[in-house]
Amino acid sequence: MKKFITLLLIATLLIPSFALAQTVETNETEYASKPDTITRAEFARIIVHMTRTAESAEPQATAFTDVPTEHWASGYVAALERAEIVRGDGYGYFRPDDTITFVESVVMLMRALNYQRMANAQGGFPIGYMIAAVSAGITADVGAVGMDSLLTRNIAWRMVNNALDARIAPYVAWGETIEYRFGDPWTPPHVSLLTTVWRGYDIYFDGENFIFPRAIAEAAGTITRAEMARIVVYLRNMGDRAAGISSTTLSTDIPHRLRAARYINVATLMHSVMPAHGITHYGVISGDYGRFRPNDLLLIEDAITMLMQTLGYSPMVRDAIDGETPLSYLDIAELVGLTEGLEFNVDEYVTPELLYELVNRALDIPLMARWTGLRPVEYIIMDGTDGNELMTARTEFWHNASVYFDGENFVQQEL
């Protein structure tokens, strides 16, 4: 009888139990690397931390003459040797201090993701591994790079972040026959390092370590810019728009695998004022010279700016009226009552207490709407005066629901 066996990366079976709210240990200060390149030993360390198997990487003997137990990377090399991710040069040497080449790094990544059978079926080293890397999306956005070129940190940053969300190669064994199955009914849901060993956490590789932005922000008593993007999307009650979105058109510093990318994408494309009144101005959030800096901690003035843009006040800031200098978002926030009576200093990180107050106030701040059919175009604060109707985030986006922001999510109270 045919046996249906789905084999996945060994790392998915070795999920460590240590707490997730931490960054990778960075006390290996003995390894040396050129400023813009990475050694083979250092890349071994990266692979081990990428697969979260560092607990089994204590200093130990290896099969390689040039990686004795006392070498700082011996544990990492031994761990990858056991997983058949590294095999040395065939002469008993690993060459730990040599700068790793592009193709060598690709081979290590593809073996870590279980693509060695596919690579061998395509011709093996090196072409088969390069074909497998393209298939898995590992080399996306890398550009034209020679296989024997030295690996730069920029390319490593791109490939490792791609590898975090790349599909771990599923294959089925029918006796002696091996079949890879992608995108058919037999294929399990998208299985990647992020969804397995990293358990869905929003982490990223910064070129040297794996970072937990949210954990760092919480430790600092604030949130990240990416988290604020999620909050303004839900303030507009548009969280469902983010379903299935996995990329952003905003900037170059947001890996497509970042879960927050879907919210950043919605926030950059959604109208910043009421669409019911023919709004044409887009972009609740914006970047800085093509970069959004999603993992940066959130400044108070940035939080206020995102909220005011969400409520439609961009034209008041963008357009000078009667030759006067436009107001700033901080000025307008005070004018409409968002920050009235609140004490804070700019250039400081927003605290959970201040963010709680700002977002809950934003639910009931009048929206600014653009009326069509008028020449010149007229923007009106919909505060219920001068014959206009009262329009707020609560009335227009939440349909008068009894909703409040609890510091992290929007909660609808039962009446």
Q: What is the pLDDT along the chain (415 residues), one digit of tens a residue?
A: 322 223 333 233 222 322 333 334 433 433 344 458 999 999 999 999 999 998 888 999 999 999 999 999 999 999 999 999 999 888 899 999 999 999 999 999 999 999 998 899 889 999 999 999 999 999 988 888 999 999 999 999 999 999 998 888 876 666 666 566 555 544 555 688 887 888 767 788 888 888 888 788 888 899 988 889 889 989 988 877 665 555 544 455 665 556 677 777 777 765 443 333 333 334 455 555 566 778 888 999 989 988 998 898 887 776 655 666 677 889 999 999 999 999 999 999 999 999 999 999 999 999 988 765 555 667 788 888 887 889 999 999 899 999 999 998 999 876 5
- How far apart CA 195 and CA 115 sit, in angstroms, is 18
Q: In the prediction, which pLDDT does 33 show?
A: 41
Q: What are the backbone dihedrals phi and psi of residue 333, each rounded to the nearest 5 degrees, phi first?
A: -60, -40
Phi-psi region of 236 (alpha: psi -120 to 50; beta: other; left: phi over 0): alpha
Residue with structure tokens 């940053």?
157
- How far apart CA 10 and CA 30 sit, in angstroms, is 29
Residue with structure tokens 């058919």?
184
Phi-psi region of 7 (alpha: psi -120 to 50; beta: other; left: phi over 0): beta
Q: For the CA atoms of the chain, what is the radius of gyration?
A: 26
Q: What are the backbone dihedrals phi and psi of residue 111, each rounded to the nearest 5 degrees, phi first?
A: -65, -35
Q: In the prediction, which pLDDT does 290 show?
A: 60
Q: In the prediction, which pLDDT does 50 show?
A: 94
Is 254 in a helix, a strand, or coil? coil
CB 383 within 8 A of CB 366: yes
Q: In the prediction, which pLDDT does 324 show?
A: 66
CB 211 within 8 A of CB 221: no
Residue with structure tokens 């604030």?
222
